[in-house]
Amino acid sequence: MGRADGQSRRICRPGTGFIHGAGRPRFLHATEAVQAGVSILGENYLQEAQGKIDQFELPVSWHFIGHLQSKKAKPVVRLFDLVHSVDSFNLAHEISKRAAILDKTADVLIQVNVSGEASKFGIVPEQLEPLLDRIQTLENVRVRGLMTMPPYFDQPERVRPFFARLRERMARVKNRRWSPNIRLEELSMGMSGDFETAIEEGATLVRVGTAIFGSRQ
């Protein structure tokens, strides 16, 4: 399928999940990507995603990677296989409640603000263990790992310390004796401009929409 196919094959690494087409409403391009072998599609915006996912017939895993408010948890739990942006106990509790109604366990990542930027969502790193302590009491949510959105730099190497902080933070807490619903396995970090650096620092999920489809506009 041209650019998407070629770029998908060029950047793949064993054991890494590539989240394609993040937030892009181009239904046809998403279909072509899946036909070329893409297995994960990401969405930033619930309103754009709802109609697309309900109409999509090809087998693919849908990831929600945008900021999520508790009041939007109901449709997100129904539509998505993994939520990347849990940043409070209240949100995790609402997701668990909605998942219980659907008789499912919702998989989520905790968003950690490793840069300390006021403009970024996510908990500060020191809040991670206390938050996990509370979430492990919930019956219908499963924490699969962590996500971060580092500052933007033109030079990918300047982002490396932020990726390393998330990796080190997860390594620090994952060996605690947690309940079975705390499974710290995934690191979601890195985008089209810096995904290779992210992978070198341990990323298991990277967001490469622009590298595959071009810019959103």
3-state SS class at 20: strand
Domain ranges of the chain: 3-213
Question: Which CATH number among 2.40.240.10, 2.40.30.110, 3.40.190.10, 3.20.20.10 corresponds to the domain 3-213?
Answer: 3.20.20.10
Question: Beta partners for 40?
Answer: 61
Q: State residue 213's pLDDT score.
A: 53
- Sequence-distant (≥ 6) Cβ neighbours of residue 93 within 8 angstroms: 138
Q: State residue 3's pLDDT score.
A: 41
Rounded Cα–Cα distance for residues 69 and 17 (Å): 25
Per-residue pLDDT of the chain (217 residues; tens, 9 = 90+): 444 344 445 555 555 677 765 555 455 467 777 777 778 888 988 988 888 888 888 888 999 999 999 999 999 999 999 999 999 999 999 999 999 999 999 999 999 999 999 999 999 999 999 999 999 999 999 999 999 998 888 888 999 999 999 999 999 999 899 999 999 999 999 988 888 899 999 999 998 765 555 555 5
Rounded Cα–Cα distance for residues 20 and 88 (Å): 26
pTM confidence score: 0.86
3-state SS class at 57: coil
